[in-house]
Amino acid sequence: GISTAALERMRAVAAKYPPSVLRGQPLVETTVRVATWNLWWRYGPWEARQPAIVAALRAVNADVVCLQEVWQETATGGASQARILAEELGYAHHAFEGKRDIDKVLMGVAILSRWPIKAPAGKALPPCGYDDERRVVLRAQIEGPRGPLSVYCTHLNWKPDQSDCRVKQLAEVCKFIRAGPGGEDMPPVLCGDLNAVPESDEVRRLTGKGEVLEKGLALADAWEVTHPGGPTAAAATWSAENPWAAAELLASRRIDYVLAGQPGP
CA gap 34, 192 in Å, rounded? 11
pLDDT at 1: 36
Q: How confident is the model at residue 249 (pLDDT cuts 50, 70, 90)?
A: confident
Percent of the chain with pLDDT over 70: 86
User: Same structural domain for residues 12 and 91?
Assistant: no
Asked whether residue 240 is assigned to any structural domain, the reply reads yes
Contact indicator for 146, 23 with CB cutoff of 8 Å:
yes
pLDDT at 231: 74
Q: Tell me: pLDDT of 15 over 50.
A: no
Asked whether residue 168 is assigned to any structural domain, the reply reads yes
Q: Tell me: pLDDT of 13 over 50.
A: no
pLDDT at 23: 54
User: How many residues make up the chain in this entry?
Assistant: 265
Q: Tell me: pLDDT of 10 over 80.
A: no
User: Same structural domain for residues 8 and 125?
Assistant: no
Q: Tell me: pLDDT of 139 over 60.
A: yes
Asked whether residue 212 is assigned to any structural domain, the reply reads yes
Helices (H), ranges, the chain: 4-16, 19-22, 46-60, 81-89, 163-178, 201-206, 222-226, 232-235, 243-246
Asked whether residue 211 is assigned to any structural domain, the reply reads yes
Which CATH number do you get for residue 210? 3.60.10.10
pLDDT at 24: 55
- Which stretch of 86-90, 184-188, 201-205 has the lowest confidence by average pLDDT? 184-188
Q: Tell me: pLDDT of 20 over 60.
A: no
User: Same structural domain for residues 19 and 39?
Assistant: no
Q: How confident is the model at residue 12 (pLDDT cuts 50, 70, 90)?
A: very low
Asked whether residue 265 is assigned to any structural domain, the reply reads no
Q: Tell me: pLDDT of 54 over 90.
A: yes
pLDDT at 29: 66
User: Same structural domain for residues 192 and 138?
Assistant: yes
User: Same structural domain for residues 135 and 10?
Assistant: no
- On average, the pLDDT of the chain sits at 89
User: Same structural domain for residues 87 and 4?
Assistant: no
How many C-beta atoms surround the C-beta of residue 229 within 10 A? 5
Q: How confident is the model at residue 68 (pLDDT cuts 50, 70, 90)?
A: very high
The dihedral built from the CA positions of residue 76, 78, 81 and 87, taken in this order, carries a sign that is positive
Q: Please, how many CA atoms are within 13 Å of residue 28, restricted to the half-sphere of its CB?
A: 13
Buried b (16+ CB within 10 A) or exposed e, 59-77: eeebbbbbbbbbbbeeeee
Domain of residue 178 covers 31-260
- Which stretch of 34-38, 150-154, 241-245 has the lowest confidence by average pLDDT? 241-245
User: Same structural domain for residues 159 and 141?
Assistant: yes
Helices (H), ranges, 68-151: 81-89
User: Same structural domain for residues 21 and 41?
Assistant: no
User: Same structural domain for residues 249 and 226?
Assistant: yes
Asked whether residue 71 is assigned to any structural domain, the reply reads yes
User: Same structural domain for residues 12 and 60?
Assistant: no
Asked whether residue 72 is assigned to any structural domain, the reply reads yes
Asked whether residue 146 is assigned to any structural domain, the reply reads yes
The dihedral built from the CA positions of residue 33, 254, 198 and 226, taken in this order, carries a sign that is positive
User: Same structural domain for residues 182 and 133?
Assistant: yes
Number of domains making up the chain: 2
pLDDT at 121: 98
Task: Read off the pLDDT of each residue in 198-215 and give the average, rounded to a whole number.
Answer: 98
User: Same structural domain for residues 85 and 113?
Assistant: yes
Q: Tell me: pLDDT of 225 over 50.
A: yes
